[in-house]
Amino acid sequence: MAADTHGAGAAPATQATPATTSTQQSVDVLIIGAGPGGSTAAALLAERGLRVALLEKDHHPRFHIGESLLPANLPLLDKLGVGAQVKAIGMEKWGAEFVSPWHEQHTQTYEFADAWDKSMPMAYQVRRSEFDHILIRNAACKGADVMEGCTVHDVRFLPEARGAVVSATHDDGTQSSWTARMVIDASGRDTFLASRLKAKHRDPRHNSAALFAHFAGVQRLDGKAQGNVTIVWFEHGWFWLIPLADGATSIGAVVWPYYLKTRDKPLDQFFADTIAMSPDLSARLRAATRVTEVEATGNFSYSSDHTHGPNYLLIGDAYAFIDPVFSSGVMLAMQGGFMAADAVETCLREPARAARALARFDRGLRHGPRQFSWFIYRVNHPTMRDMFMGPRNIWRMKEALLSVLAGDIFGTTPIWGSVRLLKGLFHLISLRHLARSWRARGLRKQQIRVESLPGVAGE
């Protein structure tokens, strides 16, 4: 898909300074990747007076999927000082709609205002080209040395934990290197360090692939709900429908690998045929026109076997990637940026407290994917679909579920007792319908079987 330059301005956040092969710079922290996690960490650390280099292989603004934010993103944006800028480009998102073809009442809407903590009632849908551009520009304004069009190709860690030497190539072919006391890998699904350290492992419990494009003229919900994200289940997975402020709508199909492997026609036709399998989604797209090329990507879930090592930390998708059904990616990346900034600052300024700070970082970084994954691994289970389509607030279980969907999992909101009850109820209902659950277990084994998908990005 062509790079998306809508609305965020033609000029990138910063211009890469021409480098020479003889130049070696020294910084406190070098960050690989200027997505939401990397730009967040860079802004915070530079604001705290540390010398920060932020290296990004692309030029912003650039296209990216993952347009749906969570209410828990908003306090983070305010802390970064960019809340008003994001509001200016965002589509208000007050809730989420789930659509199931297997239930008599086939639509169910959740509003974030009904979550346990009533202070975070909404979020935004954003074009990621605009959103990520705001964050990288903020990092530069806070004092980070931002280099775009700068691809890291080597990180060499020095003996006795004395830091690292990072080498990179600029778009014009010149080379640069940095000595850094700490490195933060925020390279996203490139997983720069985890791949090189053999620390990245596919998660055998969940594998999928995604087809996606932007459309104009998609029918929206009425009133305040027009910005809600819609999740539509169908036979081979689920669809997302994310309305954007400029009138475009992001449509994607997350499907099981076996289904995508059946493709025997051009990708755009295959995507159209997939959409046609859902009468509900097809009705919303009756007057719509596709305005971008269709793309496909492997959505294979993975995690790294550690979160940090001597002089480096992993955050966001550079640490772990989980299915995007609950729009958790940007929030987890930004939260990781905050946690990494705290840990790195402590390591550099109070080394006697480094071990405790890194242990806290490790617990925090693992917490987010773990909490979302329990629901993600079961979202297509018939019992979970029943619970989503017929929610009850016994023992505040609905409020707790909404808090998880809102991303309110890192604070002090006392949801965890009700979350445990919700999980227990899931298992009890599954046992009550044992034959159905057994069939679902066998089907899932078939669905998540890893397939080779030639021509799909992320393979």
Q: Would residue 402 count as lying in a domain?
A: yes
Domain, as residue range, for 431: 92-122+208-299+378-459
Could you give the 3-state DSSP secondary structure of residue 154? Answer: strand
* Cβ atoms of 311 and 296 closer than 8 Å: no
Asked if 123 and 70 count as a contact pair (C-beta separation under 8 A), the reply is yes
- 51 and 162 together in one domain: yes
Largest CA distance in the chain: 70
Question: Is 2 a member of any domain?
Answer: no
Domain boundary among 369, 398, 425: 369
Residue 312 is which amino acid? Y
**What CATH number is given to the structural domain containing 340?**
3.50.50.60
pTM, two decimal places: 0.91
- Could you give the angle at the alpha carbon of 277 between the alpha carbons of 293 and 406, nearest 5°? 75
CA distance linking residue 119 with residue 345, whole number of Å: 30
Give the CATH number of the domain where residue 452 resides.
3.30.9.100
Question: Cα(366)–Cα(346) distance, rounded to whole angstroms?
Answer: 20
User: How do residues 60-71 score in pLDDT, each as one tens digit?
Assistant: 999 888 999 999
Give how many domains the chain has, as a whole number.
2
d(Cα 241, Cα 389) in Å, to the nearest integer?
18
Paired tokens of 280: 């509900």
- Give the orientation angle of helix 416-432 with respect to helix 434-447, to 10 degrees: 100
In a domain, 147, yes or no: yes
Show Cβ contacts of residue 362 under 8 Å, excluding neighbours closer than 6 positions: 307, 308
Q: What is the pLDDT of residue 79?
A: 98
Q: What pLDDT tens digit does each residue of the chain (459 aa) get? A: 333 333 333 333 343 444 445 478 999 999 999 999 999 999 999 999 999 999 999 999 998 889 999 999 999 999 999 999 999 999 999 999 999 999 999 999 999 999 999 999 999 999 999 999 999 999 999 999 999 999 999 999 999 889 999 999 999 999 999 999 999 999 999 999 999 999 999 887 778 889 999 999 999 999 999 999 999 999 999 999 999 999 999 999 999 888 888 899 999 999 999 999 999 999 999 999 999 999 998 877 899 999 999 999 999 999 999 988 899 999 999 999 999 999 999 999 999 999 999 999 999 999 999 999 999 989 889 999 999 999 989 999 999 999 999 999 999 999 999 999 999 999 999 999 999 999 888 877 776 676 555 555 555
Q: How far apart are CA 368 and CA 353, in angstroms?
A: 24
pLDDT of residue 149: 97
